């Protein structure tokens, strides 16, 4: 990703409120493009909400032309029906991004928090405070769903910036050396 600019779209899926965040990555620097939420609660029909997610994610992709799409994986709760609805919302967002030809990456909430704050158990306020520092944001959004989505985009930036990100422990170094033979000192 050296010196190449890239737009990353991050999504915090939801059935009542869906957050989104867009960042511009230029080399090792990131800046905020936009963050907001899509309010779905006024639509009572679940299928209408899914259609709105599809249309809204499609509109974001058309307007900003992101290079990649990152989404937060739903956490596992006790209410099975809520989990099914959340999974559908996430699936619609992913399918919309894939249909647009974007590479999709999914991150667990713990991974997002770890990447942004250094603490996988950080609360939403801690994540927001760190995002303020990283992206030099002064205004506070009305919904943490927007900052959660922004955190997903920043997490993706950090994961792509780290040459060892995503490598498994069993073959991590071997794979890294195969991909970067210029790093071998003889």
**Active site amino acids:** 12, 72, 145
- How many degrees, rounded to 5, is the angle at CA 90 between CA 41 and CA 136? 80
Q: Quick one: how many helices (H) and strands (E) in the chain?
A: 6, 5
101/90 Cα distance (integer angstroms)? 17
Helix (H, G, I), strand (E, B) or coil at 54: helix
Cα 133 to chain centroid, rounded: 18
Angstrom distances, CA of residue 66 to CA of 16, 76, 87, 91, 153: 24, 29, 23, 19, 11
Distance CA 81, CA 87 (A): 10
Q: Can you list the pairs that 139-142 forms with residues at least 24 positions away whose Cβ atoms lie under 8 Å?
A: 141/35, 141/36, 141/37, 142/37
């Amino acid at each position: 990703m050296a010196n190449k600019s890239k737009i990353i779209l991050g999504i915090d899926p939801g059935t009542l409120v869906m957050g989104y965040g867009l960042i511009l990555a230029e080399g090792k620097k990131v800046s905020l493009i936009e963050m907001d939420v899509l309010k779905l609660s006024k639509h009572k029909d679940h299928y209408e909400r899914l259609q709105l997610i599809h249309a809204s994610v499609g509109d974001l992709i058309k307007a900003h032309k992101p290079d990649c799409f990152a989404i937060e994986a739903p956490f596992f709760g006790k209410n099975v029906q809520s989990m099914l609805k959340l999974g559908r919302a996430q699936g619609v967002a992913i399918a919309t991004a894939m249909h647009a030809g974007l590479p999709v990456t999914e991150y667990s909430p713990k991974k997002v928090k770890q990447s942004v704050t250094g603490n996988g158990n950080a609360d939403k306020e801690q994540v927001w405070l760190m995002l303020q520092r990283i992206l030099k944001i002064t205004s506070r959004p009305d919904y943490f769903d927007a900052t959660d989505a922004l955190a997903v985009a920043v997490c993706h930036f950090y994961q792509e910036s780290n040459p060892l990100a995503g490598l498994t422990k069993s073959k991590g170094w071997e794979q890294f050396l195969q991909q970067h033979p210029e790093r071998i000192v003889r």
